[in-house]
Amino acid sequence: MSKKILVLDDDPDILEILSLILVEAGYDIRTLTCGDNVFDHLNDFQPDLVLMDVMLAGMDGRSISRNIKENHLTSSVPVILISGTHDLVASLHQPGAPNDFVAKPFDIDYLLERIEKQLAE
């Protein structure tokens, strides 16, 4: 059974690219353009990993990540944030932080390597 990844980004072009990359790599994915109902999708889809942009329409991916990590039902789900404007490496060890961070523009192989690393842990 393939691993499931929930992908959040408010840019439809980025979502399409990520979808193509992840499906080709053998993952089952679900995409969202906003984080408003992320917990509904976490409960329904039960992803093995969440991959999301830091800057979502009207929301902050860091806050969503913190909410995921602070909820006892979802705290074990790895979260990888992607961003072209924020460098989050220094904040990865703070409470509620994502498990990893990938800067945009990202190398496809590097992104897949980071995903595989989180899914293996």
- Domain of 17, in residue numbers: 4-120
Using left for φ > 0, alpha for ψ between -120 and 50, and beta otherwise, residue 111 falls in alpha
Query: What residues of the chain score a pLDDT lower than 50?
Result: none
CATH, residue 100: 3.40.50.2300
Tell me if the bond preceding 95 is cis, omega within 30° of 0: no
Q: Are 85 and 55 in contact (CB under 8 A)?
A: yes
Q: What pLDDT, on the 0 to 100 scale, is given for residue 58?
A: 79
**3 state DSSP class of 108:** helix
- Please name the helix (run of DSSP H) or strand (run of DSSP E) that holds residue 46, with its range, or none: none
Number of domains in the chain: 1
Q: What pLDDT, on the 0 to 100 scale, is given for residue 112?
A: 97
**Tokens 């945009």 belong to which residue?**
104
How does pLDDT run across 65-74, given as a tens digit for each residue? 999 999 999 9
Number of alpha helices (DSSP H) and beta strands (DSSP E) in the chain: 4, 7
